[in-house]
Amino acid sequence: MAFQSEFADNRKLVDCANKDSDHIGERFAPRGPWVVLIKKALNAWAAKQSPAVRQIPVSDLFGADTGDLVALYKSRQTPPLVNFAGKIDRVVGKKTVAALDGELPRRGGVVPPPPPPPPAPSLTMSALAKRDAATSILWARGAISGLTDTRGFIANPSPLAPIPPRLVAVTLEALETHFHISTLSTSRIPFIDKILEIYVKSLGILVGNTAFFIDDTTSAESANGTPAHVPLASGKVNFTPAFRERSGTTGFGPGCRAAMVLHEPVHIADHPAASNGANHINENAAAYARQPALNQLHNAHSYASFAQQVFFNGNDTRFGIGKPEQ
């Protein structure tokens, strides 16, 4: 017979396949490179068995463990490989060496590539949000700086510098765009103070997000595909499997995620007013531009969008769930 595996390169195994007297066992030619090949083939077979069969150390000595495995191998063939007396023995003869040849890959054939390593574990939803919070924190700090300077500019008008500095000008414009400050009938200072208070609380939640951001795979919101939400009065921002990086037509881009991560803490910082439907108007809805200042004061969407406009030096980007690809 002709071997298909590297058995073909070993003279002793070729002889074993052709002559009964060249069999191999604990008492027949028990040491040599052919034993290494026999053990490789036995181990290749053992690795495929279910339940698992213990493999043996590969050496050039045909020991008792080799004899045991040969006997097991023979007994598991269909039909079992029995000797002239109809018994399973511990010796590799013509039939066994031919069968073992089939356990090894074809000589010179393409060795199958190793299985790909398992993919790196992807971030959980809340872990992704914690990473995204770095951006949300920058935006919130920008908003707080702009509001602080603007409050000072309004509270202490300088007759010598009637033109506001750039940050104050940007902030005043963003206050109009997202909080409609011109619709106020009362003083602007306490209004700005209230916005500042909500930003400072939200920033605290973003900085201490480990205590606030959790995964949610079980709620009705999760089943509906809502990426992030704060169950009423729970004090926790829930991130669902829909909250993930953009891929194809699902998930959300980094700007969109950072906006959501800034939006949700406002629901905790300004509870319960921020969760009142009359206040909670999306930044892309037509009604957004018509909301009075006292409603926008409690609109989480206003906080996410205002912070961007100040941070991006007057650019009204409105990253958010309405722009999932950004």
Interface ranges with Zn ion (CB under 5 A): 300
Q: Shortest gap between Cβ of 274 and Zn ion (angstroms)?
A: 7
Choose between 237 and 300: whose C-beta lies nearer to Zn ion: 300
Q: Cis bond leading into 51, ω under 30°? A: yes
Choose between 129 and 300: whose C-beta lies nearer to Zn ion: 300
Q: Shortest gap between Cβ of 177 and Zn ion (angstroms)?
A: 19
Within the chain, how many helices (H) and strands (E) appear?
Answer: 11, 3
Q: Taking CB positions, which residue lies at the least distance from Zn ion?
A: 300
Length of the chain: 326
142 contacts 268 by C-beta, under 8 angstroms:
no
139 contacts 205 by C-beta, under 8 angstroms:
no
Choose between 10 and 238: whose C-beta lies nearer to Zn ion: 238
- Within 8 A by CB and 6+ apart from 17, the residues are 1, 3, 94, 97, 98, 101
Q: Shortest gap between Cβ of 234 and Zn ion (angstroms)?
A: 13
139 contacts 307 by C-beta, under 8 angstroms:
yes
Q: Shortest gap between Cβ of 263 and Zn ion (angstroms)?
A: 6
Choose between 32 and 322: whose C-beta lies nearer to Zn ion: 322
Choose between 24 and 281: whose C-beta lies nearer to Zn ion: 281
Cα pseudo-dihedral 231, 235, 239, 240, rounded to 10: -30
229 vs 119, 237, 239, CA distance in Å? 29, 6, 7
Q: Which tokens sit at 264?
A: 């949700």
Q: Shortest gap between Cβ of 322 and Zn ion (angstroms)?
A: 13
Q: Shortest gap between Cβ of 285 and Zn ion (angstroms)?
A: 13
Cα–Cα distance, 31 to 11 (Å, whole number): 14
Choose between 58 and 233: whose C-beta lies nearer to Zn ion: 233
